[in-house]
Amino acid sequence: MNVAIFAFCIFAAILEPCASVIISRCDLAKGLLDRGIPRHQLNDWVCMAEGESGRNTRAIGSMNSDGSKDYGIFQINSKYWCQGEKSIANICGLQCTELLTDLLDPSTACAKIVYSRHGFNAWYAWSTKCKYKDLRFYTAGCYFDEDMKNIVPPIWDAPINFTTDTEDKFYTQFITTFDSLPPEYELYSFQRSSYNCTTAISSTIWICYKYEFVFKRIVLPHVLLVFLPSALLVIISWISFWLDIGMGAPRVALGLTSLLTLSTQLNAAEAKLPAVATMKALDIWMFVCIFMVFSSLLVFGFSYACAEIKKEEENNIANQNRLPQQKRKTLRQLAYSVSLVSLQIS
């Protein structure tokens, strides 16, 4: 029994450094800030850690060409900075295996030494994935201690700008000043909840508050101002089908007027909507309406061309029927002239 327990402990000790622990971007940023990393460098540090190890605190890189390896979330090299494979120096003064821990203290302390001598260029991932790039999204949505002092909810441009000491005061003032919704929306439901979001790498106790808003779009204004007028314009364009085929000018004018009106209506509706790259239901509706009006013009053009062809054929047939009659009349006149000449001779 003791032998089995001893073997299990040895097996667990061997596997423990290999367990993968991925830290979220916000937790990593908070941990680095608590350990002296300047606020304006957090995006670079998080980007570098993500590029080097995928934010894995127990990552061990593959063997380099010189036989050394990289350890920890910041992939500290064993040749110069820690005691490990092919070490010729131990500038950080620690074993490389000490970097394989969920606590960021050893890795951060050693990484700060590396940064003080070589800057971020010491990490290849930072040079290829982070340098000269916009890194603000790496800590977007992360809230730090100083951020909790002045909370301005980012919901449109609501006139909410105050300092709060407690969340209850913030909640009360937020609800009483929440009155700047766009006119086409209404607040359908609202729910508040709180939970403990303290992490293992942070020494600060974090209480997170979650706000869930459900908005309902008011459909009636869109129906009255967009869908119904566009449908009426399409119906009006169909009036040209009841006009005589020869009335080309009014039929073309009616179709073009409807087409231009729909285009103007589409531009006015799009100006009130956010610019997105995806297809919206309004785009499909307006495209169908414009296509139907355009089709009515095509139908008129085709019908007018067919009518002209038919008219020309009828004229040709009439001319062909008229030609024999003219020939018979000419022969009768010729015969009459011949008879007169014969009488005169006799």
Report, as residue numbers or ranges, the catalytic residues.
52, 70
| Contact indicator for 125, 107 with CB cutoff of 8 Å | no
What distance in Å separates the CA atoms of residue 126 and residue 280, rounded to the nearest whole number? 39
* Residue for token pair 């004018």: 253
CA 261 vs CA 223, 248, 265, 268, 298: distances in Å = 17, 20, 6, 11, 18
b/e burial code for range 81-92 (CB count within 10 A of at least 16 → b):
bbebbebeebeb
Closest Cα to residue 26, out of 59, 55, 57, 58? 55
Closest Cα to residue 139, out of 241, 55, 209? 55
Both structure tokens of 172: 């009360």
What distance in Å separates the CA atoms of residue 222 and residue 128, rounded to the nearest whole number? 49
